[in-house]
Amino acid sequence: MTSQPADLILVLESDDSSRAALARELSSRLDAPLVHADQVSDEREGALRLVVRDDAIELREASMKPRRGMTIDFASLDLRTGSGGLSRKQPIARAFGEKVNTIIDATAGTGQDAALLAALGYQVTAIERSAVLFEMLDDAFTRAMRDATFARAIGDRLRFVHGDAREMLPELAAPDAVYVDPMFPPKKRASALPRKEIQLLRRLVGDDDDAAELFDMAKRTARKRVVVKRPSHAPPLGREPSLTFQGKLVRYDVYLIT
């Protein structure tokens, strides 16, 4: 299981005692030293920083200005029904369809797709193997659920768990569908570098080179279908899918279990 990058430090940027306690807990759980922001030693300059702020946990590099790193935030989720963010006509909703009730999201990442699926009415268990990302998710989700509108939209339909989905899928109750959205290598000749956030995520979790193995396990576990999210330009993860739903930049390949 990927636990955490070798060189990680915890930094506390809050005067709140509960955030200080969280920083100490994270330092112990992630086995990373807790360092005061202005006391980072030279040999730790290259380390990734996990910064505990009042309003978020921010992942950033030493060269980044405060608040320019990566945070997880559920507030930007568009919870409007009808033709808004919760439209049943959007490709991801059509890919899972009406007959699916339970979903295991095997690649939780920043949790945005998992939260969208829960808000659309599916019962979702989302698995993330990066210990750092999981802690960021857990903190962001706990804080988001204090908002009444978000809590109403999600209900009790979403939980995040830490682990490697290749190992966990056979142990959990078989879901109707498994969702797989692995990291995808950037386009070789892309002129622009990926956004800083994507680069940070890549530095944290790598390239998911074992996605084919995860896909095989997903097919053995799902009762009705496996849905794979791919960049539009990427080949399918497995053989030709049974169905495909095209979005603007990504598509959803559906593999029906027969």
User: Can you give the binding site for ligand SAM, defined by CB under 6 A?
Assistant: 106-107, 109-113, 127-130, 133, 164-166, 181-183, 205, 208, 214
**Cβ-based nearer residue to ligand SAM, 35 or 234:** 234
* Distance of alpha carbon 20 from alpha carbon 45, whole angstroms: 22
Q: What number of other Cβ atoms are within 10 A of residue 97's Cβ?
A: 16
The least distance separating ligand SAM from the CB of residue 107, rounded to whole angstroms, comes to 3
**Cβ-based nearer residue to ligand SAM, 143 or 202:** 202
**Cβ-based nearer residue to ligand SAM, 19 or 166:** 166
**Nearest to ligand SAM by Cβ — which residue?**
109
* Distance of alpha carbon 250 from alpha carbon 252, whole angstroms: 7
Q: What number of other Cβ atoms are within 10 A of residue 89's Cβ?
A: 8
- Residue 145, both tokens: 């659920």
**Cβ-based nearer residue to ligand SAM, 4 or 110:** 110
What is the helix (H) or strand (E) element at residue 104, kind and residue range?
strand 102-105
The least distance separating ligand SAM from the CB of residue 116, rounded to whole angstroms, comes to 8
**Cβ-based nearer residue to ligand SAM, 200 or 214:** 214
**Cβ-based nearer residue to ligand SAM, 58 or 128:** 128
The least distance separating ligand SAM from the CB of residue 15, rounded to whole angstroms, comes to 31
Q: What are the DSSP E strand ranges found in 14-63?
A: 34-36, 48-53, 57-60
The least distance separating ligand SAM from the CB of residue 205, rounded to whole angstroms, comes to 4
Question: Which string of DSSP letters, residue by residue, matches 64-81?
Answer: SPTT-SB---STT-----
The least distance separating ligand SAM from the CB of residue 204, rounded to whole angstroms, comes to 8
* Distance of alpha carbon 81 from alpha carbon 55, whole angstroms: 27
**Cβ-based nearer residue to ligand SAM, 25 or 197:** 197
**Residues 252 and 117: beta-carbon distance below 8 Å:** no
Tokens 């509108």, located at residue? 149
* Distance of alpha carbon 157 from alpha carbon 121, whole angstroms: 7
SS3 assignment, position 188: coil
The least distance separating ligand SAM from the CB of residue 218, rounded to whole angstroms, comes to 10
The least distance separating ligand SAM from the CB of residue 111, rounded to whole angstroms, comes to 6
